[in-house]
Amino acid sequence: MASSQEDISEALEKLQPYICAGEVDSAKKFVRSNKDDTKPTPVLFSDSRMKDDLPRLPNRQTFIDCGEVTLGALKACLRDKAKVALSESNGNNLWQVLENGQKISTGLNVLIGARSSGKTHTLNEISANVEHTKYIRQFSLVQQSEAEYERDFTSEVERRRSAFVDDYLAGLKRILDDVMNVDLDAREREVDEYIETLLKSAEETDRQDAFSKATLFDEVKFPVGNNKTLP
């Protein structure tokens, strides 16, 4: 039994990418699963079998908000929890928005079409016929002139190229900085001081007598620290 349960769990895990809806056995579980983004779209069925003397249909059903009852529409709705409800009043409704009879949902609507198929014209018509609409027109958020766009693009390319060159030549740049930042006057003073010290040492060497050459007289004084005792 344990092995069978593990096989079922493994099979369900493999099928997870292809599952968009799952059955629940109570309205409470339906509501809880509908609010949980980690779970698929819940559906509640009556599990009744049709027969001639069926007295009444049970009240366990799932309402799906779709304009046309087709297999494709049902599959699309089952992927969206907002289009599934336990009662008809909880679902979204269709209402006429244009004079030509075009209807839209009270929920989320998506306008799909090829280029120059009339999407912008439809949105303009909806904005003109519906009061208090918030209409963000096409390209209004990124609207700019062609010259400004070309200037910004060129500036960004130059910035990235400069950053790449600086990173690639960072080692050579440090060497060049050391070479170019040499203080010749300071180096000349250091050389002069070294030569002067060397000549002075040579002169003092000639003046040393037998006692000066002895280690006892040639050693430097040993530094004495604080020899005071603590009170």
Looking at residue 206, what is its pLDDT?
Answer: 62
* 175 has a pLDDT exceeding 70: yes
Q: Note the pLDDT of residue 141.
A: 63
pLDDT the model gives residue 174: 79
- Residue 17's pLDDT band (cuts 50, 70, 90): confident
**pLDDT grade, residue 2 (50/70/90)?**
very low
At residue 46, the pLDDT reads 72
User: What mean pLDDT comes out for the span 38-45?
Assistant: 86
pLDDT at residue 160 tops 70:
yes
Output the CA–CA distances (angstroms, integers) from residue 59 to 13, 34, 55, 194, 206, in the order listed.
32, 19, 13, 105, 122
Beta-carbon contacts of residue 57 (< 8 Å; ≥ 6 apart): 46, 48
Q: Mind listing the pLDDT tens digit for each residue in 214-223?
A: 665 555 666 7
The predicted structure's pLDDT at residue 1: 45
**Averaged over 93-121, what is the pLDDT?**
80
Q: Dihedral, CA atoms, 16, 21, 27, 33, nearest 10 degrees?
A: 50
Check pLDDT > 80 for residue 165. Answer: no
73-87 confidence digits (pLDDT tens): 888 888 888 888 877
| Sign of the dihedral defined by the CA atoms of residues 204, 210, 214, 216, in that order | negative
Q: How far apart are CA 83 and CA 91, in angstroms?
A: 6
Q: pTM for the full model?
A: 0.36
The neighbour count for residue 125, using CB atoms within 10 Å, is 16
- Give me the pLDDT at residue 139, please: 67
Main-chain phi, psi angles of 85, to 5 degrees: -150, 165
Percent of the chain beyond pLDDT 70?
76
Residue 95 has pLDDT above 80, yes or no: no
The candidate with the shortest Cα–Cα distance to 64, out of 49, 50, 44, is 44
